[in-house]
Structure 1
Amino acid sequence: MTNELTFEKLPDAVGFLIQEVAELKDFIKKHTAKQEAPKEDVWMSVTDLMEYLPDKPSRQTVYHWVHKREIPHYKGSKKIRFKQSEIDEWLATNKRKSTAEIEAKANKYLSENRKAQRL
C-alpha cells in the first residue's frame, strides 16, 4: 500500500486528520484538568504541623514560633491552626543565602553606592 495522496483520497485524509486532532484535544483536556484542579487547603493542628515539618520540631518549639510570630498561624477558641499552603510558602522563604550570594550582593551594593557618591 502506498501513501501517495491523490485528489480522490483527500476527503478521507482530511477526515482522518480531523479525528486525530479531536482525540488529541480530548487527551490534552483530560490531563490538564487533573493538573489545574486546585488543591483543597488543609488545616493542621500543632500536632499535625509537628509531623508535617521535615525536622519534626517539638511542641514547645512550635509554640515559641507562634509566640514570636515567626510562623503563619490562626488562633481561635484557644486552638492554634495552620494552613498547609502557608506553611509550604513559609518553608520556601526561609532559604539561607550562601556565602557567595552574600558577597555578590555586597559587591553590587558597594559598586552602586560608589557611583552615586561620585555624581
Structure 2
Amino acid sequence: MDSKNISFNDMPQMMAVMYDKLNELGDKVDRLMPTEKSEEPQWMNVAALIEYLPNHPAEQTVYGWTSARKIPFHKRGKSILFNKTEIDQWLSSGTYRKSQEEMEQEAMSFINSKRYGRR
C-alpha cells in the first residue's frame, strides 16, 4: 500500500498496522525499562542472619548485639526478626565491628578473669 495515496477505504487496515506497530514499540520500551524492585521487606530469623553475615557470628553474639541495641532488629512476640535492607545498611555503615577501645576492654576483662580465677 502506497503511504502517499491512502484512501478512506484503506483506513481500517492502516489503523490495524499502526496498532501493531504501537504494541511492538511498547514492548521494546518495556524491555528497556529496569524492572522494579520488590518493595516488600525480606525478613530473616537469627539462623538466617548468622548465615548471611560475612563473619558468621555465634548465636550468643547476635543476641548480645540485640540486647545492646547494636544491630537493627524487630521483635514479633517472642521472635526476633531482621530486615535484610536494614542489615545491609548496618553492614555498610561499619558499626558491626568492635572499636579498638571495646577490644582492649574485652582483652583486659579476659586477662583479669584468668588472673583472679586461679586463686
* TM-score, normalisation: structure 1: 0.54
Give secondary structure in 1 for the equivalent of 2:49.
helix
For 2:29, the equivalent position in structure 1 comes to 28
Unaligned segments of structure 1, at least 5 residues: 1-8, 97-119
The equivalent residue for 1:85 is 85
| Counterparts of residues 44-59 of structure 1 (less than 5 Å) | 44-59=44-59
Give distance in 2, aligned partners of 1:46 and 1:61: 11
4+ runs of 1 displaced by more than 6 Å? Answer: none
What is the count of residue pairs matched by the alignment? 85
Q: TM-score, length-normalised on structure 2?
A: 0.54
CA RMSD, aligned part only? 3.4
Quick one: distance in 1 between partners of 2:33 and 2:38?
A: 12
Distance in structure 1 (CA, Å) of the matches to 2:40 and 2:32: 19
> What does residue range 1-119 of structure 1 map to in structure 2 within 5 Å?
19=21, 23-32=24-33, 34=35, 36-94=36-94
Structure index of larger Rg = 2
Q: Secondary structure at the match of 2:40?
A: coil
Aligned to 1:4: none
